[in-house]
Chain A
Amino acid sequence: MKGRETDGKRKPRDAARLLPAFGLAAFVLPVAWAGQPDVRVAIYVFLVWAVLIGLAAWLARRLSRGAER
């Protein structure tokens, strides 16, 4: 029972640690299109950005509900 509880807190914490790395990986991709202007590149970046913000908001809520470390 206790194990599951700490697990429930650790998972969002790990996710919060990994999120910037995930974001960086997603933002590296436009390098492949450097010098080939296409509005879809911009749309891709903004979409990824929005998804990251959504994930961050969700994680932040999960984390601040958990006890302060």
Chain B
Amino acid sequence: MAVADLLVAVCILYAALLFAVAWFAERRARRGRGGWLRSPVVYTLTLSVYCTAWTFYGAVGFAARSGLDYLTIYLGPTLVFLAWWWLLRKLVRIGRSQRLTSIADLVSSRFGKSDLLAVLVTVLAVIGTTPYIALQLQSITLSFAAFAHTGPEAGGRPGTAIWVAAGLAVFTILFGTRSLDANHRHHGVMIAIALEAVVKLAALVAVGVFVVWGLSGGLGPALDAIDAAGIAAPSGGGGRWLALIFLAAAAVLTLPRMFQVTVVENADERHLATAAWAFPLYLLGISLFVLPIAAAGLALLPQGSNPDLFVLTLPLAADRDGLALFAFLGGFSSATSMIVVAALALSIMVSNHIVVPLWLRFRRDPATVAGDLRTVVLRARRSAIAGVLMLGYGYYVYTDGTAALASIGLISFAGVAQILPALLGAVYWRGATRAGAIAGLAAGFALWGYTLFLPSFGDSLLMPAGVIAEGPFGIAWLRAQNLLGTGGDPLVHALVWSLGANALLFAGVSLVTRQDGLERLQASQFVDVFDRAPGPVAWSGGGAAAWDLLVMSQRILGPEAAQALFRRAARGQGLSGDLPDPTPDFVEMLERELAGSVGAAAAHAMIRQLTGAAAVSVEELIAVAGETREIMAYSSRLEEKSRELARTAEELRAANEKLTQISRQKDAFLSQISHELRTPMASIRAFSEILRDTDDLAAAELTRFAALIHDETLRLTRLLDDLLDLSVLENGRVSLNIEAGNLGDVIESAVGTAVLAPGRQTLAIRRDTMRETVPIETDCGRLRQVFINLITNARKYCDAERPELRIRVTAHRGMVDIDFIDNGSGVPAAQRALIFEKFARAIEAETADAAGGAGLGLAICREVMRSLGGSIGYLPGVGGAAFRVRLPRRSAAIAAQ
């Protein structure tokens, strides 16, 4: 009795420790200092809730009975986690983007937020998990019994079980229902689970080390013992080995508690990268010493000892009470962590998918009913936790703890594995329909119950032994464990039939039924979760008043949270008040937010009642749904690209045209420049020949010829100077001589020079000297060169009878415009773009010949003005040829660089 008291005291102390750790973690997280609570290591450790008491005690029993088969339970999950990149990552991403609260929520949400599917999965999960919880209670009772050496091994004291169940209910309610939002991580629970994960691994490894090096006498003898025990190979046929690996892989995906820790409690997708190898490593560590312990137990303990308790009885038999106590705590940890997380996950499912929908159904108008829906949901969740634990306890009492641990665990696994086809279809098959999922799940569930679950009770009221043996009404081909005359291992038999029918019906019915709009929408959001922006696809729902939405949200999220959410949304829409416009985007976001608390189906139903948009029309949805949207985006991308191409082609064509023109200009110039060079050259040659060959020239004639040669040389020099000048200007190597001056003076000087220069005609110049008085700071010499050029041009080209040039000065802020306007016929429009190009004058060759000049003047002007920070351009529409020189009043020494 004293031993039992000691155990109770240890358990209470340990539980107190867990409470303290959970409370501490919650407090840290609330204060925002819980960064390490969300580390990948903690995430991996919480995943180990997969290893329950069934692992801790049962694996050794499993190995003692069926050899290497126990490993399959860990190899399956190992393979699943190796597939994290394409499987788990997708699940976690979907879970986050859809704010999923449970596996039932996932299935229901994907298949059009179906209530029926949610209920089906929830019921399946509850029925599948109940035996499992019973198993944990049984293991605790058994370990108590083994420790206290009281009574037979099976049975123990049910009193222990009920106290444990009650204690765990309190723990789960305290730390599991603090917040309504299921997406809000349960830091307290998770950190306690992580701690328990460490305890159970350490305990099992400690027992293993003791067995190998303490009892067996080293590694070699331990291996020999395993060989001798004959447990180092898969039992039976290969079918069972593969079926078990498959079953465990399916279970790690579909067990509600595994979905809870893997997807719902995941804080960061990147943690998966660590868990992908760390969790298999944990599993390897946990199963490493199972074989030696089983072999030693079989060899050392008396015949008929329960192999499920070797972990405990081996140290006890060797009088290592401390180690045994540690092992006991390890088993206790395994059992309690499983129960807590399973109860948490199931309570969320039950409250969100059964209680809330029922409540909604009985209260027609949730928006106007007074009261806080949160208390309803939280109360439902708390009662569900207690209910689930009571169910487990009831099952335990009812079956009297007879079945071996391993077989109960496998029955549970096979039950929840029925969700697998719907789950995989939900994530990978866009065409899977709700009807298919319902048909598959229902068939699988029924066959599992018929072929595995009910027969597991042995002779019971639900299925008497006679029915199991003979078939219902004596129909032999309906025998539960020999459907249609098939036989073999009952587990494999049940698995093949239930999952086979499930998958076939799921696929078959999906192929012949159609999706409705919402389903189609959800399908594309699930299957293409990696390809789309996280934002939801919105549709134009009915007009819900923002106020009604706020009232409803307050009752689910709480007043502060709801008001803050609405305020944020209003800010996001650029509104100043606290109420956002109920745009489709906002309503969709709100629904998602609510789904995090009450599940997708319930949230959808509530929003729908308010918005009045009872059914979204299929056309509308198709228009926004994935495929169309993608195609539209793609085609708009194409259009954009083709527009861009057209633009580029246009630019290329223009550039080509200009290049051709310039090339033509260059050719023309070359011929022009040759001509220009040739004419003076010819005269120089002719006159110098006369000078050379004629001996009797008069002195006056001699002087005249020499003067002619001199003039022609000057003309050549000028031409070459111009060319040189232009090339210097164009290369930006000109050095400016910036000085202060007066615009009037510059014009005056230019006019003087230009008018005095020899020319054919006289040009009347009209100026307004008053307006010319503008102080400037520039290179006056260069500016004067430009002006001279323009005036000379007017003199040369103005074809009016009485040529006249108007010089008009207009001062702006910081700039001065100087216009040179003559009364001739102007420059033809076609040539205006070209006159500033080099050698442009060549185009109008006939006039040019008459005027004389290489056509470099305007090109030089343009370069000069550019250097001075100004510009020169043709001014159309003012009568004759008009040029506007624009000059900054203060030239920065731009070209000086």
A45 to chain B, nearest CB (A): 6
CB contact under 8 A between A60 and B233, given known A30-B68, A37-B67, A46-B288: no
Whether B276 contacts A31 by the Cβ 8 Å rule is no
A28 close to B242 (CB less than 8 A): yes
Give chain B nearest CB distance to A25 CB in angstroms: 10
Min CB distance A21 to B, Å, is 9
| Chain B hits for A19, CB < 8 A | 82-83
Q: Which of B78, B82, B230, B241 contacts A30 (CB 8 A)?
A: B241
Q: Is the CB of A37 within 8 A of B233?
A: yes
Q: Are A57 and B277 in contact (CB under 8 A)?
A: yes
Q: Give complex CA distance A69, B85 in Å.
A: 11
With A63-B85, A63-B273, A64-B270 as given contacts, are A35 and B236 in contact (CB-CB < 8 Å)?
yes
Query: Closest CB-CB distance, A54 to chain B, in whole Å?
Result: 8
B232–A41 touching, CB < 8 Å: yes
**What is the interface of chain A mostly: helix, strand, loop, or mixed?**
helix
Decide if B15 is an interface residue (CB 8 Å cutoff): no
Contact of A46 with B273 in the complex, beta carbons under 8 Å:
no
Partner of B85 from the list A17, A24, A32 (CB cut-off 8 Å) is A17
Tell me the smallest distance from the CB of B74 to a CB of chain A, in Å: 8
Q: Judging by beta carbons under 8 Å apart, are B241 and A31 in contact?
A: yes
**A20 part of interface (Cβ distance < 8 Å):** yes
Q: B260-282: which have CB < 8 Å to A?
A: 270, 273-274, 276-278, 280-281
Write the chain A residue with the least CB distance to B224: A39
Return the CB mask of B232-244 against A: 1 if under 8 Å, else 0. Answer: 1111111001100
In the complex, whether A8 has a CB less than 8 A from a CB of chain B is no
Bound together, the chains give a CA A36 to CA B232 distance in angstroms of 8
Give Cα A48–Cα B284 distance, bound, in whole angstroms.
Answer: 11
| Chain B interface residue bracket vs A | 35 or more
**Residue pair A34, B235 in contact (C-beta under 8 Å):** yes
The one of A27, A37, A61, A69 in contact with B75, judged by C-beta atoms closer than 8 angstroms, is A27
CB-based contact B274/A37 at 8 Å: no
Q: Which residue of A lies closest to B93 (CB)?
A: A69
Q: Given that A41-B68, A46-B284 are known contacts, is A52 also in contact with B82, CB under 8 Å in the complex?
A: yes
Main secondary structure of the interface of B (DSSP, over half): helix
- How long is the Cα–Cα vector from A39 to B226 in the complex, in angstroms? 6
Once bound together, how far apart are the Cα atoms of A35 and B233, in whole Å? Answer: 6
| Contact yes or no, B284 A50, CB < 8 A | yes
Tell me the nearest residue of chain B to A28, going by C-beta. B242
Most interface-central of B75, B78, B85, B242 (chain A CB within 10 A): B85
Q: Among A13, A32, A46, A56, which residue has its beta carbon within 8 angstroms of that of B82?
A: A56
Q: Does A1 contact B (CB under 8 A)?
A: no
Residues of B within 8 A of A20 (CB): 79-80, 82-83
Tell me if B530 counts as interface (CB < 8 A to partner A). Answer: yes
8 A Cβ contacts from B522-544 to A: 530
Q: Quick one: CB contact mask for A37-69 with B, threshold 8 Å, 1 for yes?
A: 111111001100110111011001101100001
A61 to chain B, nearest CB (A): 8
**In the assembled complex, how far is the CB of residue A51 from the closest CB belonging to chain B, in whole angstroms?**
11
Q: Is the CB of A42 within 8 A of B284?
A: no
Which residues of chain A are within 8 angstroms of B662 by Cβ–Cβ distance?
Answer: none
Instruction: Say yes or no: A34 contacts B276, CB within 8 Å.
Output: no
A24 to B242, CA, bound (A): 9
- The answer to whether the Cβ of B625 comes within 8 Å of any Cβ in the partner chain is no
The interface residues of chain B lying within 8 Å CB-to-CB of A17 are 83, 85-86
The answer, among B226, B236, B237, for a CB contact under 8 Å with A42, is B226
B226 touches A33 (CB 8 A): no
* Residues of A contacting B748 in the complex (Cβ-Cβ under 8 angstroms): none
Contact at B233–A33, with CB atoms within 8 Å?
Answer: yes
A61 to B274, CA, bound (A): 8
Indicate if B245 sits at the interface (CB-CB under 8 A): yes
Q: Which of A34, A50, A57, A69 interacts with B234 by CB under 8 Å? A: A34
- CB–CB A56/B236 < 8 A: no
The verdict on B343 contacting chain A, using a C-beta distance below 8 Å, is no
Which among A30, A61, A63 has the highest number of chain B CB atoms within 10 Å? A30
B148: CB under 8 A from chain A? Answer: no
Inter-chain contact B280/A45, CB cutoff 8 Å: no
Contact flags B71-100 to A (C-beta < 8 A → 1, else 0): 100010011111111100000000000000
Bound-state CA distance A28–B246 (Å) is 11
CA distance A54 to B238 in the complex (A): 27
Of the candidates B78, B241, B273, B281, the one whose C-beta lies within 8 Å of that of A64 is B273
Among B67, B68, B233, B280, find the residue whose CB has the most chain A CB atoms closer than 10 A: B233
Mark interface residues in B191-234 (1 if CB within 8 Å of A CB, else 0). 00000000000000000000000000000000110110111111
User: Which of A32, A36, A56, A69 sits near B277, CB closer than 8 Å?
Assistant: A56
Docked CA distance A40–B226 (Å): 10
Contacts of A54 in B (CB 8 A): 277
Shortest C-beta distance, B326 to chain A (Å), equals 24
Q: A33 to B68: give the CA distance in the assembly, Å.
A: 11
Q: Indicate whether B291 reaches chain A with its CB closer than 8 angstroms.
A: yes
Which chain A positions have C-beta within 8 A of B75?
27, 45, 49
Q: How far is the CB of A43 from chain B (nearest CB, A)?
A: 8
Q: Which residue of B lies closest to A34 (CB)?
A: B234
Report chain B residues within 8 Å CB of A50.
Answer: 284
Contact indicator A33/B234 (Cβ below 8 Å): yes
Residues on the A chain within 8 Å of B80, using CB: 20
Nearest chain A CB to B724 CB, angstrom units: 46
List the B side residues contacting A60 at CB < 8 Å.
84, 273-274, 276-277
Question: Of the candidates A13, A49, A63, which one forms a contact with B280 in the assembled complex, judged by CB atoms under 8 Å apart?
Answer: A49
Contact of B68 among A16, A23, A42 (CB under 8 A): A42
What residues of B have a CB within 8 angstroms of the CB of A37 in the complex?
Answer: 67, 227, 229-233
Residues of B within 8 A of A42 (CB): 68, 71, 226, 232-233, 291
Contacts of A30 in B (CB 8 A): 68, 233-234, 241
Contacts of B235 in A (CB 8 A): 34-35
A53-B233 in contact given A30-B68, A46-B284 (Cβ < 8 Å): no
Establish whether residues B530 and A34, one from each chain, have CB atoms under 8 Å apart when the complex forms.
Answer: no
Complex interface: chain A residues within 8 A of B230 (CB): 37
Compute how far the CA of A31 lies from the CA of B233 in the bound complex, rounded to whole angstroms: 8
A29: shortest Cβ distance to chain B, in Å? 10
| Complex interface residues of chain B between 52 and 77 (CB less than 8 A to chain A) | 67-68, 71, 75
Distance of A28 Cα from B242 Cα, bound (Å): 7
Instruction: Let me know if B270 and A23 touch, CB within 8 A.
Output: no
Rounded to whole Å, the gap between the CB of B205 and the closest CB of chain A is: 15
Find chain B residues with CB under 8 A from A64 CB.
270, 273
Chain B residue nearest to A54 in the complex (CB): B277
A1 to chain B, nearest CB (A): 23
If A23-B79, A30-B233, A52-B78 touch, does A38 touch B273 (CB 8 Å cutoff)? no
Whole-angstrom distance between the Cβ of B216 and the nearest chain A Cβ = 13
Contact pick for A31, options B234, B277, B291, B530, CB 8 Å = B234
Q: Which chain A residues border B245 with CB–CB below 8 Å? A: 24, 27
CA distance A36 to B227 in the complex (A): 10
**Closest B residue by C-beta to A62:** B273
Q: Which of A23, A39, A46, A52 contacts B227 (CB 8 A)?
A: A39
By the criterion CB–CB under 8 Å, are B71 and A45 in contact? yes
Q: Give Cα A61 to B40, complex, Å.
A: 13
A57 to B679, CA, bound (A): 88
- Bound together, the chains give a CA A64 to CA B585 distance in angstroms of 32
Q: Are B280 and A53 in contact (CB under 8 A)?
A: yes
Chain B CB count within 10 A is highest, among A17, A39, A49, A57, for A39
The chain A residue sitting closest to B290, CB to CB, is A42
Q: What 4 A-B pairs have minimum CB-CB distances, sorted nearest first?
A: A31-B238, A57-B277, A16-B85, A56-B277
Q: Which A residues fall within an 8 A CB radius of B?
A: 13, 16-17, 19-20, 23-24, 27-28, 30-42, 45-46, 49-50, 52-54, 56-57, 60-61, 63-64, 69
16 contacts between A and B (CB under 8 A): A16-B85, A17-B86, A20-B79, A20-B82, A27-B245, A28-B238, A34-B234, A37-B67, A41-B68, A42-B233, A42-B291, A46-B288, A57-B277, A60-B273, A63-B273, A69-B530
- Given A16-B86, A37-B67, 12 further pairs, Cβ under 8 A: A17-B83, A23-B82, A24-B245, A27-B79, A30-B68, A34-B238, A37-B227, A37-B233, A39-B224, A49-B75, A49-B280, A60-B277
